[in-house]
Amino acid sequence: MASRIGGCRRPLLLLFLLSLASQTAFSWKQDEFRNCNQTPFCKRARSRKPGYCTLIADQVSISDGLLTAKLIPRPIPNQEEGGEDHHQIAKPLLLSVSIYQSGILRLKIDEDPALDPPKTRFQVPEVVVSEFDETMLWLSRVSTETLDGDSAPSSVVYLSDGYEAVLRHDPFELYVREKSSKSRLVSLNSHQLFDFEELRVKNEGEEWEERFKGHTDTRPYGPQSISFDVSFYDAEFVYGLPEHATSLALKPTKGPGVEYSEPYRLFNLDVFEYLHESPFGLYGSIPLMIAHGKTGKSSGFFWLNSAEMQIDVLAEGWNADSGLSLPSDQKRIDTLWMSEAGIVDAFFFAGLGPKDVVSQYTAVTGKPAMPQHFATAYHQCRWNYRDEEDVENVDAKFDEHDIPYDVLWLDIEHTDGKRYMTWDSVMFPHPEEMQKKLAAKGRRMVTIVDPHIKRDDNYYIHKEAAEKGYYVKDSSGKDFDGWCWPGSSSYLDVLSPEVRMWFSDKFGFDSYKGSTPSLYIWNDMNEPSVFNGPEISMPRDALHFGGVEHRELHNAYGYFYHMATSNGLVKRGDGKDRPFVLSRAFFAGTQRFGSVWTGDNTADWDHLRASVPMILTLGLSGISFSGADVGGFFGNPEPELLVRWYQLGAFYPFFRAHAHQDTKRREPWLFGERNTKLIRQAIHVRYMLLPYFYTVFRESNTTGLPVMRPLWMEFPSDDATFSNDEAFMVGSSLLVQGIYTERAKHVSVYLPGDELWYDLLSGAPYKGSQTHKLVALEDRIPAFQKAGTIIPRKDRYRRSSTQMVNDPYTLVIALNSSQAAEGELYIDDGKSFEFMQGAYIHRRFVFSNGKLTSLDLTPNNKKSKFTSQTVIERIILLGHSPGPKNALIKPGDGKVEVGLGPLVLETGLGSSSSFVTIRKPSLPVDKDWTVELV
Ligand code: NOJ
């Protein structure tokens, strides 16, 4: 939650905070935050005209496997240096291009260290994974080509079998093109909007300061922004750039007929009561854009830069009279990228389809961590569960109402005066016992640990951090002191590896008193949120490790904090327990450390709907483990909205209910029997599908693909899916359509592809490539299994997922038009890192010609093994005509009965129809076998 208190003095501040705490209804205060016009670098860059660039790539050569060049100013005819339409760089810039396996190009542009810049510009460390560096291809050859209409030559280098990169020397431009057709894919500086403000030393009397709402930013090195244009070819839409509450396909922000007047802002902020539809930047930032078009092909662009960024998507015709010519036979989307500081460190992804691009991006920034199994189940949270008795009651009620849940969360009030990693001794006198009671039922607890540290000499964390000099400094060099929940607070300088190491040790059981092995962590307010800071955050001239200014690092602060916390949990468990850490702020690479949620949403239908494009965008940007607060954080949802939210949330990768402290209690049993039943059913659906979810999480962990996917990722050539963000896929087998309106009578759902889709719970078949108008049912939202797939389930409901470990599986085979289907099942110990040594079961199930085969997908050279005694107890065939009476099992001569049975056992959830069912085949889940219908 954010409060707006710019410039207040302490006592007033306290009064203000108290008054805030008692208020419930606020709305987004736009003028607390800067718009582009109030942000000088954005205003300048946005007002430039095409042709602004004055650069030439000079001294182009190959050196150490890279293509290198110097960018030098080009003489401007009839124009004063620094005139309004042009900006001349003072010193040549260094450019390098490197290429990597699978068609990734990296471009770097920075100041030349040999020319004595006042300091080294910031390059974000520890985002690009070391494995990626190892995939660099050593360039040894560059060819030259004179492009049509150019007088100077261009350099061409190999990128992959299908693509090559072209560095045009004069004027400077870089693009990726297809080798055979020469058609372009992605280009930079085609409109010559590139600009680079070099660092300067202030001369006497120069005025560089920037002011906003009573805050002054000293800007000691002068303006240092960078901007350029990027174009995507054969593109219908662009996607990405989380975090905004907006449509999945990004709307244009500049040019004729645009709806938004602001660029997409990437600046991690604690935005109180954010709007459900706005280009305004929220808690996290990932400067990644993916373009997709009717050819079914995708491309991507990622700028590794953690300073404030603003990105315009330019509407067709934005440069109508610029006189520039670019290929007219390719539909193009132009974009303008502007950042306050840092360097150009950009990656071009030339994928074939959307899955290739996401896999390329996650080859650079890392694959999503494999979560513990419990974390994929349902989480119950509230600000706040008051005391131990409250915790005990809530826990007991879940059992009483037969609703499974896995994790109970404690918000800030559980601490001793917001000193994190302590307990309120009156409310929580026996924290260990409390966690052990939950653990006995296979349940976990999560506590919140925020980055603001109470400046109290009696608080061990503050005392040590202050003594060791581990805090971020203000511009005068003193420990930065800002206001947050505990009052006066300082912030750990998590850019420093030493500080992160020290902080991660604080999660050890000996240090975090009252913590036990079943306790996991929630990082909140890590944008960082500073109630009395500019835009409720840290001043940009605050100083970090190595003299890095906060402006350069801002968007990655929360990332490093999340990293330290996650590493702390790994250490705490001696490297044997996968961490679970939820974070509100995020940056590129966050997927390696944990999950993310979409912050303080509101209990209304618009926010329910907005949650889908937000989670889809996170998934496209590598963060596959994310969710939105089920029920909405602010306000009190009507029971119908709450039920619909549970029904949708059951398909979010991260499924947690949460609510603001001023809202009415809303645990699932508080809205009458009927609603309790509906919520129970929604949660049961999630538990039933846990084996499928876990298998998809593993796919995500190995490939980088999202768990929750836009339809076009699975159907890249179907343009009817390109802007659909009301429906989504979970993995590649399941399609879900939310219901986003009150008292909906009908719901329309578009089912792509040529095959049938089977209703997840009734088994009813629906044709593909059609929009179906369905009756909106009270007890579910539409969800379908794609014909041709096999989904593994567990159909017995327990108190928690842990208690389901040894339960048998059901396989649901949805047959396609060739009476065939395929699917996978991944199982491991759900907890340790042993799976990385091969300790897992991974089966592929293939059904064809009336026979189901289970194949082993694990590698031969595994160092560790995982076995399981669990069996498959039921196999249901959708789309198979009744007839077969028996099934033969091999190896052995087993024969089991085939009959008709329900799709779902729970009464009320399924339909009365019956489907061909192989009963009690008791097939071992970790062995090869076949089952043949006879
Ligand atoms: C803001 C978070 O977004 C919210 O989820 C949490 O409940 C409050 N901070 C209090 O910690």
Residue spans per domain, the chain? 37-320, 373-451+495-529+553-705
Asked whether the predicted pLDDT for residue 145 surpasses 60, the reply is yes
CA–centroid distance, 605 to ligand 1, in Å, is: 21
Ligand 1 nearest-atom number relative to CA 661 = 7
Residue 517 φ/ψ, nearest 5 degrees: -65, -10
Provide the pLDDT confidence category of residue 653 given band limits of 50, 70 and 90: very high
The two three-digit tokens of residue 111, written as one number: 């100041």
Interval 489-499: pLDDT, tens: 999 999 999 99
The widest CA-to-CA distance across the chain, in whole angstroms, is 93
Provide the pLDDT confidence category of residue 613 given band limits of 50, 70 and 90: very high
| Distance of alpha carbon 801 from alpha carbon 794, whole angstroms | 10
Residue 671 φ/ψ, nearest 5 degrees: -125, 30
CA–centroid distance, 500 to ligand 1, in Å, is: 23
Mean pLDDT for the stretch of residues 278-288: 94
Question: Do the beta carbons of residue 385 and residue 730 sit within 8 Å?
Answer: no
Mean pLDDT for the stretch of residues 161-180: 96
CA–centroid distance, 599 to ligand 1, in Å, is: 8
Nearest residue (by CA) to ligand 1, atom 7, is 383
Active site residue 524: yes
Asked whether the predicted pLDDT for residue 7 surpasses 50, the reply is no
Q: Is 535 in the pocket of ligand 1 (CB under 6 A)?
A: no
Provide the pLDDT confidence category of residue 31 given band limits of 50, 70 and 90: confident
3-state secondary structure 704-773: CCCCEECHHHHCCCCHHHCCCCCEEEECCCEEEECCCCCCCCEEEEEECCCCCEEECCCCCEECCCEEEE
| Distance of alpha carbon 613 from alpha carbon 605, whole angstroms | 14
The reported pLDDT for the residue numbered 20 is: 44
Asked whether the predicted pLDDT for residue 9 surpasses 80, the reply is no
Asked whether the predicted pLDDT for residue 24 surpasses 50, the reply is no
Share of the chain above pLDDT 70, in %: 95
Q: Pick from 243, 127, 237: which is nearest to 615 by CA?
A: 243
Interval 797-826: pLDDT, tens: 899 999 999 999 999 999 999 999 999 999
| Distance of alpha carbon 22 from alpha carbon 917, whole angstroms | 58
More confident residue, 737 or 30: 737
| Distance of alpha carbon 760 from alpha carbon 630, whole angstroms | 22
CA–centroid distance, 189 to ligand 1, in Å, is: 41
CA dihedral 163, 164, 165, 168 (to 10 degrees): -120
| Distance of alpha carbon 327 from alpha carbon 527, whole angstroms | 42
pTM, rounded to two decimals:
0.96
Provide the pLDDT confidence category of residue 86 given band limits of 50, 70 and 90: low
- Is-cis flag, bond preceding 171, omega within 30? yes
Ligand 1 nearest-atom number relative to CA 384 = 7
Q: Return all residues near 914 (Cβ < 8 A) that are at least 6 apart.
A: 900, 901, 902
CA–centroid distance, 484 to ligand 1, in Å, is: 12
Task: Name residue 35's amino acid.
Answer: N
The reported pLDDT for the residue numbered 28 is: 67
Task: Name residue 52's amino acid.
Answer: Y
- Is-cis flag, bond preceding 891, omega within 30? yes
Interval 685-711: pLDDT, tens: 999 999 999 999 999 999 999 999 999
- For a mutational test of ligand 1's pocket, the pick from 1, 273, 595, i.e. the residue with the most ligand atoms closer than 8 A to its C-beta, is 1
The two three-digit tokens of residue 663, written as one number: 């809202």
Asked whether the predicted pLDDT for residue 852 surpasses 80, the reply is yes
Q: Is 599 in the pocket of ligand 1 (CB under 6 A)?
A: yes
CA–centroid distance, 640 to ligand 1, in Å, is: 24
Handedness of CA 623, 493, 540, 525 (dihedral sign): positive
Provide the pLDDT confidence category of residue 583 given band limits of 50, 70 and 90: very high
Write down the CATH number for the domain with range 37-320.
2.60.40.1760
Asked whether the predicted pLDDT for residue 869 surpasses 60, the reply is yes
Task: Name residue 209's amino acid.
Answer: E
The two three-digit tokens of residue 445, written as one number: 């607890």
Q: Count CB-CB contacts under 10 A for residue 823.
A: 24
Mean pLDDT for the stretch of residues 23-28: 49
> How far is C-alpha 396 from the geometric centre of its chain's CA atoms?
34
- For a mutational test of ligand 1's pocket, the pick from 271, 380, 524, 666, i.e. the residue with the most ligand atoms closer than 8 A to its C-beta, is 524
| Distance of alpha carbon 739 from alpha carbon 731, whole angstroms | 20
Provide the pLDDT confidence category of residue 85 given band limits of 50, 70 and 90: low
- For a mutational test of ligand 1's pocket, the pick from 17, 272, 383, i.e. the residue with the most ligand atoms closer than 8 A to its C-beta, is 383
The reported pLDDT for the residue numbered 685 is: 97
| Distance of alpha carbon 579 from alpha carbon 596, whole angstroms | 14
Q: Is 486 in the pocket of ligand 1 (CB under 6 A)?
A: no
Interval 447-459: pLDDT, tens: 999 999 999 999 9
Task: Name residue 694's amino acid.
Answer: Y
Of 210, 270, 277, 527, the active-site residue reads 527
Share of the chain above pLDDT 90, in %: 88
More confident residue, 603 or 83: 603
The reported pLDDT for the residue numbered 829 is: 98
The reported pLDDT for the residue numbered 77 is: 61
| Distance of alpha carbon 900 from alpha carbon 890, whole angstroms | 22
Nearest residue (by CA) to ligand 1, atom 2, is 1
Phi-psi region of 386 (alpha: psi -120 to 50; beta: other; left: phi over 0): alpha
Q: Is 600 in the pocket of ligand 1 (CB under 6 A)?
A: yes
Q: Is 210 in the pocket of ligand 1 (CB under 6 A)?
A: no
| Distance of alpha carbon 736 from alpha carbon 16, whole angstroms | 45
Ligand 1 nearest-atom number relative to CA 448 = 11
Of 524, 577, 629, 718, the active-site residue reads 524
Question: Do the beta carbons of residue 846 and residue 853 sit within 8 Å?
Answer: yes
Q: Is 418 in the pocket of ligand 1 (CB under 6 A)?
A: no
CA–centroid distance, 658 to ligand 1, in Å, is: 9
- What letter would DSSP give residue 371? P
Q: Pick from 652, 822, 643, 825: which is nearest to 739 by CA?
A: 643
* DSSP labels, 482-539: EEETTEEEEEB-TTSHHHHHHHHHTTSTTTSTT--TTEEEEE-STTT--TTSGGGS--
The reported pLDDT for the residue numbered 21 is: 42
- What letter would DSSP give residue 358? H
Question: Do the beta carbons of residue 666 and residue 388 sit within 8 Å?
Answer: no
Q: Is 1 in the pocket of ligand 1 (CB under 6 A)?
A: yes
Average pLDDT of the chain to the nearest whole number: 94
Q: Is 411 in the pocket of ligand 1 (CB under 6 A)?
A: yes
Question: Do the beta carbons of residue 677 and residue 791 sit within 8 Å?
Answer: no
CA–centroid distance, 450 to ligand 1, in Å, is: 10
How far from 424 is each of 181, 388, 392, 439, 544, CA to CA, in Å? Answer: 68, 11, 17, 21, 32
Nearest residue (by CA) to ligand 1, atom 9, is 1
| Distance of alpha carbon 919 from alpha carbon 895, whole angstroms | 10
Task: Name residue 160's amino acid.
Answer: S
How far from 259 is each of 251, 268, 274, 313, 338, CA to CA, in Å? Answer: 8, 23, 18, 11, 20
CA dihedral 557, 558, 560, 564 (to 10 degrees): 140
More confident residue, 319 or 717: 717
Asked whether the predicted pLDDT for residue 82 surpasses 50, the reply is no
Burial environment of residue 123 by CB neighbours within 10 A (0 to 12, 13 to 18, 19 or more):
middle
Angle at 129 between CA 128 and CA 130, to 5 degrees: 120
Provide the pLDDT confidence category of residue 84 given band limits of 50, 70 and 90: low
CA–centroid distance, 525 to ligand 1, in Å, is: 8
The reported pLDDT for the residue numbered 909 is: 76
- For a mutational test of ligand 1's pocket, the pick from 633, 656, 663, i.e. the residue with the most ligand atoms closer than 8 A to its C-beta, is 633
The reported pLDDT for the residue numbered 329 is: 81
Query: Do the two domains 37-320 and 373-451+495-529+553-705 of this chain adopt the same fold?
Result: no
Question: Do the beta carbons of residue 684 and residue 797 sit within 8 Å?
Answer: yes
- For a mutational test of ligand 1's pocket, the pick from 411, 452, 663, i.e. the residue with the most ligand atoms closer than 8 A to its C-beta, is 411
Q: Is 553 in the pocket of ligand 1 (CB under 6 A)?
A: no
Asked whether the predicted pLDDT for residue 1 surpasses 60, the reply is no
Q: How many residues in the chain?
A: 934
Asked whether the predicted pLDDT for residue 564 surpasses 70, the reply is yes
Mean pLDDT for the stretch of residues 841-846: 98
Nearest residue (by CA) to ligand 1, atom 8, is 1
Q: Count CB-CB contacts under 10 A for residue 417.
A: 13
* DSSP labels, 416-485: BTTBTT---TTT-S-HHHHHHHHHHTT-EEEEE--SEEE--TTSHHHHHHHHHT-BPB-TTSSBP-EEET
Q: Is 524 in the pocket of ligand 1 (CB under 6 A)?
A: yes
Location of structure tokens 């670098």 = 41
The reported pLDDT for the residue numbered 913 is: 81
Asked whether the predicted pLDDT for residue 16 surpasses 60, the reply is no
CA–centroid distance, 540 to ligand 1, in Å, is: 24
Phi-psi region of 525 (alpha: psi -120 to 50; beta: other; left: phi over 0): left
The reported pLDDT for the residue numbered 321 is: 72
The reported pLDDT for the residue numbered 774 is: 98
Asked whether the predicted pLDDT for residue 19 surpasses 50, the reply is no
The reported pLDDT for the residue numbered 5 is: 33
CA–centroid distance, 498 to ligand 1, in Å, is: 28
Mean pLDDT for the stretch of residues 616-623: 98
Ligand 1 nearest-atom number relative to CA 584 = 3
State whether residue 213 is helix, strand or coil: coil
The reported pLDDT for the residue numbered 438 is: 98
CA–centroid distance, 660 to ligand 1, in Å, is: 7
Burial 339-370 (b: 16+ CB within 10 A, else e): bbbbbbbbbbbbbbbbbbbbbbbbbbbbbbbb
| Distance of alpha carbon 90 from alpha carbon 76, whole angstroms | 14
Q: Radius of gyration (Cα) for the chain, nearest Å?
A: 28
Asked whether the predicted pLDDT for residue 186 surpasses 70, the reply is yes
Of 198, 450, 493, 600, the active-site residue reads 600
Q: Is 270 in the pocket of ligand 1 (CB under 6 A)?
A: no
- Is-cis flag, bond preceding 528, omega within 30? yes
Question: Do the beta carbons of residue 654 and residue 625 sit within 8 Å?
Answer: yes
Interval 720-730: pLDDT, tens: 999 999 999 99
- For a mutational test of ligand 1's pocket, the pick from 17, 26, 243, 525, i.e. the residue with the most ligand atoms closer than 8 A to its C-beta, is 525
Phi-psi region of 257 (alpha: psi -120 to 50; beta: other; left: phi over 0): left
Task: Please identify, in words, the CATH class of the domain defined by 373-451+495-529+553-705.
Answer: alpha beta
CA–centroid distance, 661 to ligand 1, in Å, is: 9
Ligand 1 nearest-atom number relative to CA 524 = 2
- First vs last Cα of the chain: how many Å apart? 62
